[in-house]
Amino acid sequence: MLAKLSFRQLLLAGFLFIAILLSGTSVHALLTLERLTKQSRAVAHQAVNLTEESQRLTERTVAMERSARQYLVLDDVAFRDIYDDAVQEAKASLQVLAQAIPDLPPKQLEDWNTQTDIARKVLQEGRVTNKATLHKNQQALYQSFVRLPEINDQIVLASKREIERRNDQSLMELERQRRLLTALVSGAMIMAIVLALTFGLWLARPLAQIELVIGRLGENKFDQEIAVSGPADLRRLGKQLDWLRRRLADLEADKARFLRHISHELKTPLAALREGVALLEDGVAGTLSDNQREIARILRQNTASLQTQIEDLLRYNAAAFDAQHLHKTPVDLMQLLSTVIDGQRLQWQARGLTVELKTQLAAERQTDLRQLLSNTPSRPPTISADAEKLGVVLANLLSNAVRFSPDSVIDFILTQADGYVSIDCIDQGSGVAADDAARIFEPFYQGARQPAGARSGNGIGLSIVSEYIAAHGGKIQLHPTVSGAHFRIELPYER
């Protein structure tokens, strides 16, 4: 199901899913907070009601006692009515307290009603003239109203306990909800992070695949089929990239065939031209005048130059193809450099040059590599590389340095650092013009500073060097110098 959706749809779905998860958690937290607020408000209101009813019960009990005593002394019916009203109000408060306090003992309620009934009987007898009877009634009334405050105190105490119980219950519920909300928020955050990472990694994987295959296409590696996993639109993009790969492979093959055919077609008439010029110079068609011989010489030079350019074009095309097919073996760079230098010994000695090979195995380099005092006995590590192609790279750098250097020294400095080995080639020639530095590694590009009297180069040497170094995962750079040219090659290696 997910594979049918596009990248944008999946991205939107991921954001919506995470937003819904976090929004649901937030809404639940708000509803819980509102419910707890209402519950706290209700508990506070009940606590106030219980306190008010307890105070009213105490006040009504005092009013009952006062009106009852006044009635016995004054024998006024109004005081008895006041007493009855106070009893009704006290019983109403007592009923409210009984309903609000589940743990209130029924015995206290019965005892309170019993005492009020005794007082009511005394008051119903009215005021008597018999002192003994009056004293007896007063004693009974006194006993009733002594007992009622004690019962009231017990009821007030039960009311306070009920308030405390409800407060504790509210606090416990609040703590439980707090833990629940903490767990929900933490779970939502963790799930959101997991979902974000899952969606991110799942959606980033095809993008990384596309980036990788585009890099392969840029490096002219057309031998691997391109298959991109993930959303539907990215899979379609992968198919389009694979079509582009096949198309580029066909174009590369067509270009190679074109170069082979055009070189073959050009070589045949070119060979005839060279043979004809040679026959003219040999006098087969008759003796040539000086002007004719000069024309024949110009023809011979241009046909030779044209043949060289055709061969260089084929050689560059072959080098670009070979750069994609490396045969890596353990390579001793010190030994390889020595072999390359010895291989061109006749050339640099004929020009009065000196080629020095130095090593520096420290992690830090000096700013001016010419200030190295002496060779160190240590040797750089052996790297995995194509020895033949690295030999071509070093040979091209040395031949360029020999071609452009006067009577001076050419330095090759081998440096080991963490993760890579660098090879510096430094000469003291005319150097590279500032305008040429950006294009020096382009094929068939020749700089403005050419040695006087030397045959013009073909401009593919440094481009082949760049192709081979890039194929090894390294890089070559032209470093700015006051005089001469300074090329640095950096090759990766593992300890």
**Could you tell me if 477 and 424 are in contact, meaning their C-beta atoms sit under 8 angstroms apart?**
no
Please give the distance of CA 160 from its chain centroid, rounded to a whole number: 59
377 has a pLDDT exceeding 50: no
Convert the pLDDT of each residue in 54-82 to its tens digit: 888 888 888 888 887 787 777 777 887 88
| pLDDT attached to residue 339 | 92
Instruction: Find the mean pLDDT for residues 203-215.
Output: 83
pLDDT value at residue 487: 92
Q: Is residue 256 part of a domain?
A: yes
Task: Answer yes or no: is 193 within a domain.
Answer: yes
Q: Is residue 14 part of a domain?
A: yes
Please tell me the chain's helix, strand, coil percentages from 3-state DSSP, rounded to the nearest 5: 70, 10, 25
Same domain, 363 and 406: yes
Whether residue 109 has pLDDT greater than 50? yes
Number of Cβ within 10 Å of residue 495's Cβ equals 5
Pairing type for strands 420-426 and 329-331 reads: unpaired
Whether residues 267 and 351 fall in one domain: no
What is the pLDDT, as a whole number, of residue 488? Answer: 92
Using the 3D structure, point to which of 198, 218, 242 is the last residue of a domain: 198
How many Cβ atoms are within 10 Å of 482's Cβ, its own excluded?
A: 7
Judged against a pLDDT cut of 70, whether residue 235 lies above it is answered with yes
Tens digits of per-residue pLDDT, 237-278? 888 888 988 888 888 788 777 777 776 677 778 788 878 888
Same domain, 147 and 33: yes
Q: Does 387 map to a domain? A: yes
- Tell me the sheet residues that pair with 384: 330
Q: What is the pLDDT of residue 440?
A: 82
- For the domain that residue 267 is a member of, what is the CATH number? 1.10.287.130
- Predicted confidence at residue 176, as pLDDT, reads 85
Query: Which range of residues forms the domain containing residue 267?
Result: 233-322
Same domain? For 160 and 184 the reply is: yes
Q: What is the C-alpha separation between 393 and 458, in angstroms, rounded? A: 16
- On whether both 184 and 282 belong to a single domain, the answer is no
Same domain? For 288 and 348 the reply is no
CATH code for the domain in which residue 125 is found: 1.20.58
Which of 172, 198, 224 is the C-terminal boundary of a domain?
A: 198
For residue 378, the domain's CATH number is 3.30.565.10
Token reading at 253? 């093959």
Examine the pLDDT at 412 and tell me if it is beyond 70: yes
Together in a domain, 11 and 150? yes
Q: Which residues pair with 489 in a beta bridge?
A: 423, 476
Contact 485, 373 (CB under 8 A): no
pLDDT, one tens digit per residue, over 124-142 is: 766 555 556 656 666 776 7
341 and 243 assigned to the same domain: no
Residue 21 belongs to some domain of the structure: yes
For residues 26 and 175, membership in a common domain is answered with: yes
Q: Assess whether 454 and 373 both reside in one domain.
A: yes
In a domain, 215, yes or no: no
Percent of all residues in the chain with a pLDDT value above 70, rounded to a whole number: 84
Specify if 221 maps to a domain: no
Task: Based on the fold, state whether residues 376 and 392 are members of the same structural domain.
Answer: yes
Residue 154 placed within a domain: yes
DSSP notation for 235-275: HHHHHHHHHHHHHHHHHHHHHHHHHHHHHHHHHHHHHHHHH
From 299, 322, 345, give the residue that closes a domain.
Answer: 322
What confidence score (pLDDT) does residue 495 get? 56
> How many domains in the chain?
3
pLDDT at 300: 81
3-class SS at 286? coil
DSSP 418: T
Q: What are phi and psi of 202, to 5 degrees?
A: -65, -35
| Statement to judge: residues 346 and 266 lie in one domain | no
Flag whether the pTM goes above 0.85: no
Taken in order 392, 397, 403, 408, the sign of the CA dihedral is: negative
**How does residue 489 score in pLDDT terms, banded at 50, 70 and 90?**
very high
Burial annotation 56-83 (CB, 10 A radius, 16+ → b, else e): bbbebbbbbbebbbbbbeeeeeebbebb
